[in-house]
Amino acid sequence: MIGLVHIAGAVLRIDLGAIVANYHIIRKQAAGAEVAGVVKANAYGLGAPEVAAALAQAGCRHFFVAQLSEAVSLRHALDASGALSNATLYVLNGLQPGAESVAAEIGVTPVLNSLDQVDRWSAEAAACGRALPAALQVDSGMSRLGLPPAEVETLASAPERLNGIDLRVIMSHLACADDATAKANKAQTEAFEVLASRFPGVPRSLDNSGGSFLPRGHFNIVRPGIALYGGAPQAGSPNPMHPVVTLEARIVQVRDVPAGVGVGYGLSSVAGYARRIATIAVGYADGWPRHLSNCGSVFIGGHRAPIAGRVSMDSITIDVTEVPPALLYPGASVELLGPHQTIDDVASDAGTISYEILTQLGQRYAREYIPVAEG
């Protein structure tokens, strides 16, 4: 039987060993804090079951998803292997009304973001007749999720509202951690310390990928996401992380286009000279940003080839005029992500961030996982 890798338009390779190596880089950087694995959005598009299993094998004991549905899927996927048997699975967005019994049944730890969520989880604990674990998020200045300072004071002054809740972590989230010079980082850190002090003795968590590299202490748990997957944790600084993904497409067709002849939808690419144009089998349906129309590039045998024309649903046309002809044939490999072009490079060209590039990667790729090397 022919494998998908031989018939797909492109191959996405995910290096689990590189993810584990990045985990250890962050452990060293945030010495004294435990390092969690943020595996929301299917581990940023790379496969939550595979990534979580590799991180668990490396010693990771805290995992974060955004939605309860993600937690249910991940728990089911990993229960058979026992990969998360000694780990805690947190749900960042907390629980929608009515979802408490499901969360309690599968043993996840919701991140409670409001007094209403606190009250509902306490009521579920009473109904279950046992204590239920939770994290509590406080708003230290991002104005997105978490109890604002007034509600923190309300809760701290009425501790009975936490009856039945085994409070495992007090956490918040940094808004500007990818910019080490941002004054908001210091302001949020100080605000978090004040808010967290209202719950003495409870472990604390504030830092995401960027925060893990700030030159200060890192509390008890750091929660890296993009850095695990090879993205730069600090904008404008050298990226210390190992690249995790490569994406290689195949040439479908090569043609000669005369001077003055347009290429692609809208005929938006026109040159005053004769060109050689190759078409590859990747498009915006595969998560390649349409914003890269006429501005992005790919690499063939190390030679840069700019995108010529609009990125369409299933294909991209590239100008291969300067690529040696011997490299241009149907089925030839084209690098979209790899040694010559990182996720941050592509994000910059597309006017977005590396998070979006990864999470948009489509389902038509043949996916190959490079296992963690033994020893």
Same domain, 299 and 218: no
**pLDDT at 241 > cutoff 90:** yes
Task: Provide the annotated binding site for substrate.
Answer: 144, 313
Tell me which residues are annotated as active site.
Answer: 40, 265
Same domain, 66 and 213: yes
Is the Cβ–Cβ distance between 170 and 135 less than 8 Å? yes
Q: For position 312, which CATH number holds?
A: 2.40.37.10
Looking at the domain assignment, is residue 92 inside a domain?
yes
Same domain, 204 and 336: no
Same domain, 152 and 253: no
Looking at the domain assignment, is residue 370 inside a domain?
no
| Measured distance CA(179)–CA(183) in Å, rounded | 9
Same domain, 291 and 323: yes
For the chain, how many structural domains are there in total? 2
For residues 363-371, average pLDDT:
95
Looking at the domain assignment, is residue 216 inside a domain?
yes
The predicted-structure confidence for 123-173, as pLDDT tens digits, reads as follows 999 999 999 999 999 999 999 999 999 999 999 999 999 999 999 999 999
Same domain, 255 and 318: yes
pLDDT confidence of residue 188: 97
Looking at the domain assignment, is residue 70 inside a domain?
yes
Residue 22: both structure tokens together: 């990045």
The predicted-structure confidence for 288-310, as pLDDT tens digits, reads as follows 999 999 999 999 999 999 999 99
User: Of all residues in the chain, what percent carry a pLDDT higher than 70?
Assistant: 98
- Those residues whose C-beta lies under 8 Å from the C-beta of residue 62, and which sit 6 or more positions away, are 34, 35, 36, 37, 87, 88, 90, 221, 223
Cut 0.85: pTM above it:
yes
Looking at the domain assignment, is residue 363 inside a domain?
no
pLDDT confidence of residue 307: 98
Looking at the domain assignment, is residue 237 inside a domain?
no
Looking at the domain assignment, is residue 6 inside a domain?
no
| Measured distance CA(303)–CA(195) in Å, rounded | 54
Task: Provide the annotated binding site.
Answer: 144, 313
Domain of 38? 16-229
Residue 90: both structure tokens together: 């947190």
**pLDDT at 84 > cutoff 80:** no
Indicate the average pLDDT of the chain: 95
pLDDT confidence of residue 124: 98
Same domain, 102 and 172: yes
Is the Cβ–Cβ distance between 174 and 211 less than 8 Å? yes
Same domain, 222 and 254: no
Same domain, 48 and 21: yes
The predicted-structure confidence for 191-219, as pLDDT tens digits, reads as follows 999 999 999 999 999 999 999 999 999 99
375 pLDDT band, cuts 50/70/90, is low
Looking at the domain assignment, is residue 141 inside a domain?
yes
**pLDDT at 78 > cutoff 60:** yes
pLDDT confidence of residue 1: 40
| Measured distance CA(182)–CA(213) in Å, rounded | 13
Same domain, 49 and 121: yes
